[in-house]
Every structure is written in structure tokens, then in C-alpha cells.
Amino acid sequence: MRPCPDHDTLGCPMEHINRVNGEGPTPCHIMLIGEAPGKWEDKKGHVFVGKSGSEFDRVYLEKCARLSRRNVYVTNLVKCRTNEKDRDPTMAEVVACSKILSREMDEVMPKFVGTIGRMSTRWLLDPSAKMEKVHGFGYQVGSILVMPLYHPAFGLHNTVMMRHIMEDFERFGRMVRGDSSVMWKEAP
């Protein structure tokens, strides 16, 4: 068990406090933010492991984005597994854990952030952001370049989406490498 040392001070509503911390070099120019730990992340204590983590590393990060996990800081918006069915985090859980994520961002000092999934995209970009409209586009948020990406688990549940996930990660890699053909939008 990896108890959350911030559980009481953050006013966290979660009873399950098996915290999964972010991993990667600090500082780091590239940061990827998922939503919350799943079953295997919770069990092993590492971010993006298990079936979707394997897809994340091998297919999306390495082949599509052409990035090595050794050179990327990876974390989740919510640090503890929400429940056995991996429901979306509640607003109270997001608010509590966002303080930890803000500290992580201050330490990591990313120039590029990929928000993986709806929850992290809404936290960083806009609470009403719709993934169908924002994914795969670059946005300037303060001094950070942000790109919303569909979550690898979405492709495991809906194989039609795998092509879109691959395209998102390919664009993210191009953005990181400074490719001027990446399409930009005004932050919502």
C-alpha cells in the first residue's frame, strides 16, 4: 500500500488512498497527463501499465509520437483509483488531486503537455471542452503548448478509435519536434 501523504490536508473524498505518483525525469520538457489509475496501475503502483499502458508505450508513444518514455514525465490528474469499475473521477476528487498535479507541473516545468482523455483535457484547457472538437489540435495555455489526446483505453474498448488515437499521438510528437504543420486553435 502506498498511502497518499496529502490525503487529509487536501480534503480528499476518496476512501481508497493507494496513491500512484507520476514518473519521469524532472525537469522535463514533455508531460503527459492521464485521468486516473486503473486496476493495474493501482496494483503495481506505476502510471500507464497493464493493457492500455502497453499500447501507450509500444504503439502510441514510441511508434506514433516517436518519443521514448525515458524522456517523458507521465502522470494522472487523479492519483488514486476511483473504484473497481474505474468510473470517471468526481469533481471533488479532481479538485483535491489537482493541487498535487499543480505541484508536479511546477517541478517538471513542461513546455509541451499532452492531456490524455476528457478529464485531464477539461482540467487544463476548459471545463466544457468536448474531445471530439479539441483532440489533435495544439493550444497555447500560458507558456505551455497543450494537445488533447484520446485515451489509449478508448481504443481497446472501441477499435474504430485506434486510428484517431494514433493520429493524435503522431501530431503530438510533431508538435514536440516543432513541426509547423501542426494545426492550432485558440484556447476555448
User: Would the pLDDT of 16 be above 60?
Assistant: no
In the predicted model, what is the mean pLDDT of residues 89-101? 84
Share of the chain above pLDDT 90, in %: 56
User: Would the pLDDT of 1 be above 60?
Assistant: no
The fold adopted by the segment(s) 7-176 is Uracil-DNA Glycosylase, subunit E (3.40.470)
Exposure string for 125-140, b = 16+ CB within 10 A, e = fewer = beeebebeebbbbbbe
Residue spans of the domains in the chain: they are: 7-176
Residues contacting 8, CB < 8 A, separation 6+:
none
Look at residues 178, 172, 182 and name the one whose alpha carbon lies nearest to residue 32.
172
Q: Is the peptide bond before 27 cis (omega within 30 degrees of 0)?
A: yes
Under the banding of pLDDT at 50, 70 and 90, the label for residue 129 is very high
Find the range with the poorest average confidence among 19-28, 76-85, 132-141.
76-85
Q: Is 143 left (phi over 0), alpha (psi -120 to 50) or beta?
A: alpha
